[in-house]
Chains A and B, each alone.
Chain A
Amino acid sequence: MADEAPFQFLHNEVIHYIYKSAENGETENGKNITKLENMGFRVGQGLIERLTKDTARFKDELDIMKFICKDFWTCVFKKQIDNLRTNHQGIYVLQDNKFRLLSQLSAGKQYLEHAPKYLAFTCGLVRGALSNLGVKSIVTAEVSVMPACKTHITCPSSDQRHSHKD
């Protein structure tokens, strides 16, 4: 796949464009984040079709998550997820200690309030990929210290004990 730099630049410009074109109407953060997430969703759908063309069928959900952590993350960000945790009941936490899209922003707590914009596309990417693999999910991300990023994936269908919490 192509070099990282063009994608990072494009990603930053997309965020900038969306926020700029929203200045006339509303400056609600919510709508812009949703637009970015939806973009990521569509890209994730196409990308996962390409990537899994030649791979074997997945045994179960955990297998799918491992694929996301290794091959999918490597394809998009040229590195693997550093840590995957799960409660085996549909909740997965993917930890990336040096998230590529944030590493140029800062190396600590500076600009923390802008981090959500830069995570929306990636959340959509993961959600789109899972969707085309047949897994309905809710994907959110949190940053406490840049550039480390934790992605939370919740799969309601395999979560049989707890009721749906948001």
Chain B
Amino acid sequence: MAVCIAVIAKENYPLYIRSVPTQNELKFHYTVHTSLDVVEEKISAVGKSLGDQRELYLGLLYPTEDYKMFRKLHNSFTDVMCNPFHNPGDTIQSKAFDGIVSGMMVQTG
């Protein structure tokens, strides 16, 4: 289960970010930003390893993530992109996307 989910645009700003309400939410937002560095590392590493690993999912950045979760998130992101009322680059405001994300977050009762 996730405590924080974020979708980052290719210009490095968040299209969507949501976390379980706690006192330390800012800490999650910083973690998301620093994880971008890890993502970049992985991508440049993949380019050198003879194109073996061509998966979209870059694997566990830290050992707490779930592959199925990424798949579901990516699928709902694709649906958002295909919505004609959504302009790419805007923050994501789809209720369906919110629903999927809620399903993946830690339930706090």
Interface size class, chain B = 10 to 19
**Candidate in B46, B74, B77, B88 with the most chain A CB atoms within 10 angstroms:** B88
* A116 at interface, CB cutoff 8 A: no
For residues 30 through 84 of chain A, which have their beta carbon under 8 Å from a beta carbon of chain B? 42, 45-47, 49-50, 53, 56-57, 59
Contact B54 A49 (CB under 8 A): no
Contact A49 B78 (CB under 8 A): yes
Min CB gap A39→B, angstroms: 11
Contact A53 B55 (CB under 8 A): no
Min CB gap A128→B, angstroms: 9
Main secondary structure of the interface of A (DSSP, over half): helix
Contact B88 A132 (CB under 8 A): yes
Which A residues lie within 8 Å of B56 (CB)? 56-57
**Candidate in A42, A56, A57 with the most chain B CB atoms within 10 angstroms:** A57
Nearest-CB residue, chain A, relative to B80: A49
Distance in angstroms between the alpha carbons of A124 and B78 in the assembled complex: 20
Interface size class, chain A = 10 to 19
Contact (A45, B55) CB under 8 Å given A57-B46, A132-B88: no
CB-contact partner of B54 in A47, A53, A56, A134, under 8 A: A56
Min CB gap A76→B, angstroms: 15
CB-contact partner of B81 in A46, A56, A59, under 8 A: A46
Which B residues lie within 8 Å of A132 (CB)? 81, 88
Which A residues lie within 8 Å of B88 (CB)? 42, 45, 132
Distance in angstroms between the alpha carbons of A108 and B75 in the assembled complex: 44
Distance in angstroms between the alpha carbons of A49 and B75 in the assembled complex: 9
Contact A57 B54 (CB under 8 A): yes
Which B residues lie within 8 Å of A42 (CB)? 84, 88
Min CB gap B99→A, angstroms: 19
Distance in angstroms between the alpha carbons of A46 and B86 in the assembled complex: 10
Contact A59 B75 (CB under 8 A): no
Min CB gap B84→A, angstroms: 8
Which B residues lie within 8 Å of A53 (CB)? 74-75, 78
Q: Pick the 8 closest A-B CB pairs, nearest first.
A: A56-B54, A46-B82, A49-B81, A57-B54, A49-B78, A59-B51, A46-B81, A53-B78
Residues of B participating in the A interface, judged by any CB pair closer than 8 Å: 10, 46-47, 51, 53-56, 74-75, 77-78, 81-82, 84, 88
A-B contact pairs, 11 of them (CB 8 A): A42-B84, A42-B88, A46-B81, A49-B82, A50-B78, A50-B82, A53-B75, A53-B78, A57-B53, A57-B54, A57-B56
